[in-house]
Structure 1
Amino acid sequence: MSTPIPDRWKLTLPLMLPVLGGLAYLQTFGAPSRLIVINALALVFALAWTLWGRVPSQRGGRLALAGLMAFGLFLPLLLQLDAGGVSRWIPLGPVLMHSGTLLLPLLIVLTAREPRLGPAILGLALLALGLQPDAGTLLGLTAATAALAVTQRSTLFALVSGAALVLTLATFGAGTLEPQAFTEGVLAQVWAAAPLLALGLGAALLVAPAWLLYRNLHVPRAEGYALAALLAGLGVAAILAPFPFPLIGYGASPILGFGLALGALGRLSPARESR
């Protein structure tokens, strides 16, 4: 049993509110129109998927899709799209997609209630992110798998979380990427010019993980907590160091990635929690 379509609009709020705030930020601070259009189109697609998207209904199909997501994280390394000593991107037409924020949210949802295979598949993701390297997304994975370790009472998820934390610390500061305007340092930039707008953006970003924990949303506990922790981890990474701000900064990847995850979340029944 999945969330009925009339109720699934509630799942769009943790995505729509921060992204709309981000679009207002991009417009106000003079971002190139191309960046605004890309984020807006990504939001339209993500909202449509959240409402009407489908994932495989059978466990085997979901696990196969999770495996595909995990191996997809290796694509930047296979394509050798290197910049500043890191490889984190997958080309999608004229746009480079950040592999971690595009693929990891759905991967977390698909593996959240797989006590044996889930940690193994997320271990593959951990390896890919460590090789890229991508400490920001690794911190998100650390938080998400810690949430799964608690909600699922799983030692294996805890081991993945511990390994992810070690790799996060080991790769923090790796690479020599040039600062990315309108993607990194968003809250600091806005705070310097418009503190009230910065507070609004920060609040909008907090809405997403907080809303996923809202009991009346009727999402499976493990997936909801893990997805909230992933987003919180990505946000903390962006505050601590020059990593992309999810949803409120320029970047189609986290918008699409969390849209894919929310669409899958709406197709899972909380009744399966005890399996």
Structure 2
Amino acid sequence: MTTKLRQSLLGFFGAASLVAVLAGCWTAADAGVAIGVWGRMIAAWLVGLVIAIAMGWSGSRGEQRLAGIAPLIVTVIALLLLAACFADPGLQGVHRWIVVGAIRINAAAIVLPLMIVVLGQRVWGPIAMIAVLLLLVAQPDASQASGFAVAAIILLLAGKRTPGALASVAVVAVLGMIAWYRPDPLASVAEVEGIIGLAWQRAPVMAALAVVALALATAAPILSGFRSNRATALALAAYLAGTAIAPAIGAFPVPLVGMSMSPIIGFWLGIGALGAQRQASRP
């Protein structure tokens, strides 16, 4: 049963995300974007799928895989990667990427979904959440900050509502809002932030398909048949949905559909970790 439940999560998300990715690739190809750009999207989806399957297999070996020091290690690595973004000069004062050759890696888009799943009810969770948001505000990245803030609030309210927890909720909410007031001069790139509009210009049905597929992919944690760890699933879904909605408000990459590999890998990491966690938490 646990294997079937994990497979339903991977299958639901996999199908929806693949449609979203392919819709974006078709749009980019039709707009004349080089195959080396949109081809990497398909490669990233395949890599993410393999990683998610491997994470589920590992999780089936026992709850200890997701307990102990592992969540702390993941959190420390995530914070270090977010901080490493400031080592690069950035673009117009914006520091969201780790540059590897010609590739820009959005660290937050990769590490935050996984971090949301492993944080759970860790006693040090609120400190980690606030540290993440401080880095996101400094970058600045309102899309990632707002998505993570909503997820963090859900996780905090799911635990004991002590004065400290409620204070953490207030701090997280304020930091999430501050991120939207930080200067962000970056212009929209058609095949990244403006991919839905680009699809609409070429084939409205493709734009509609991309939006529906993206919506289903973001809802996968709560629509795929799982019932345990409800708060974690809801938090992950809230983050995914938040980053998917943000491009309608500002110049932020459209996850899965836009030509950016980082959200694809990040979404798969979150889904893989959630499937592994749920499998490990069942008898």
Q: Give the TM-score normalised by the residue count of structure 1.
A: 0.87
Identify the match of residue 106 of structure 1 among 100, 114, 122: 114
Whether the aligned pair in 2 keeps the contact of 1:15 and 1:258 (CA below 8 Å) is: no
Letter of the structure 2 residue corresponding to residue 151 of structure 1? A
Whether the aligned pair in 2 keeps the contact of 1:148 and 1:154 (CA below 8 Å) is: no
SS, match of residue 119 in structure 1: helix
Identify the match of residue 205 of structure 1 among 214, 218, 238: 214
Alignment partners' CA distance in 1, 2:184 and 2:233:
32
Q: 1:20 to 1:149 in 2, by over 3 A?
A: same
Over aligned residue pairs, what C-alpha RMSD do you find? 2.5
- TM-fit CA distance, 1:270: 7.1
Letter of the structure 2 residue corresponding to residue 248 of structure 1? V
SS, match of residue 271 in structure 2: helix
Q: 1:81 to 1:213 in 2, by over 3 A?
A: same
2:280 aligned with 1:267, yes or no?
Answer: no
Alignment of 1:130-209 (within 5 A): 130-152=137-159, 154=161, 159-172=167-180, 174-209=183-218
Letter of the structure 2 residue corresponding to residue 99 of structure 1? A
2:91 aligned with 1:89, yes or no?
Answer: no
Whether the aligned pair in 1 keeps the contact of 2:151 and 2:236 (CA below 8 Å) is: yes
2:6 aligned with 1:8, yes or no?
Answer: yes
Alignment partners' CA distance in 1, 2:177 and 2:199:
28
- TM-fit CA distance, 1:101: 0.7
Superimposed CA distance per residue, residues 47-83 of structure 1 (whole angstroms, 9 cap, x where no aligned partner): 0111112474432222222222122211101x13411
2:74 aligned with 1:76, yes or no?
Answer: no
Alignment partners' CA distance in 2, 1:32 and 1:108:
34
Alignment partners' CA distance in 1, 2:35 and 2:144:
27
Whether the aligned pair in 2 keeps the contact of 1:145 and 1:160 (CA below 8 Å) is: no
SS, match of residue 96 in structure 1: strand
Superimposed CA distance per residue, residues 147-197 of structure 1 (whole angstroms, 9 cap, x where no aligned partner): 223433545565445434433433326232232221102223323443222
Whether the aligned pair in 1 keeps the contact of 2:66 and 2:118 (CA below 8 Å) is: no
Give the aligned partner of residue 37 of structure 1. 39
2:102 aligned with 1:118, yes or no?
Answer: no
Letter of the structure 2 residue corresponding to residue 120 of structure 1? I
Give the aligned partner of residue 23 of structure 1. 22
Alignment partners' CA distance in 2, 1:119 and 1:11:
28
Whether the aligned pair in 2 keeps the contact of 1:220 and 1:270 (CA below 8 Å) is: no
SS, match of residue 74 in structure 1: helix
- TM-fit CA distance, 1:142: 1.8
Farther off after superposition, 184-193 or 203-212: 184-193
Farther off after superposition, 160-169 or 238-247: 160-169
SS, match of residue 203 in structure 1: helix
Identify the match of residue 249 of structure 1 among 248, 253, 258: 258
Q: Give the TM-score normalised by the residue count of structure 2.
A: 0.84
Whether the aligned pair in 2 keeps the contact of 1:101 and 1:257 (CA below 8 Å) is: yes
Alignment partners' CA distance in 2, 1:189 and 1:123:
36
Farther off after superposition, 225-234 or 20-29: 20-29
Q: 1:46 to 1:142 in 2, by over 3 A?
A: same
Alignment partners' CA distance in 2, 1:76 and 1:261:
21
Whether the aligned pair in 2 keeps the contact of 1:66 and 1:121 (CA below 8 Å) is: yes
SS, match of residue 247 in structure 1: coil
Farther off after superposition, 164-173 or 97-106: 164-173
Whether the aligned pair in 2 keeps the contact of 1:17 and 1:204 (CA below 8 Å) is: yes
Farther off after superposition, 240-249 or 26-35: 26-35
Give the aligned partner of residue 231 of structure 1. 240
Name the % identity: 28
- TM-fit CA distance, 1:119: 1.3
SS, match of residue 277 in structure 2: coil
Letter of the structure 1 residue corresponding to residue 133 of structure 2? L
Q: 1:145 to 1:118 in 2, by over 3 A?
A: same
- The alignment of Structure 1 onto Structure 2 pairs a total of residues equal to 269
Identify the match of residue 129 of structure 1 among 104, 121, 136: 136
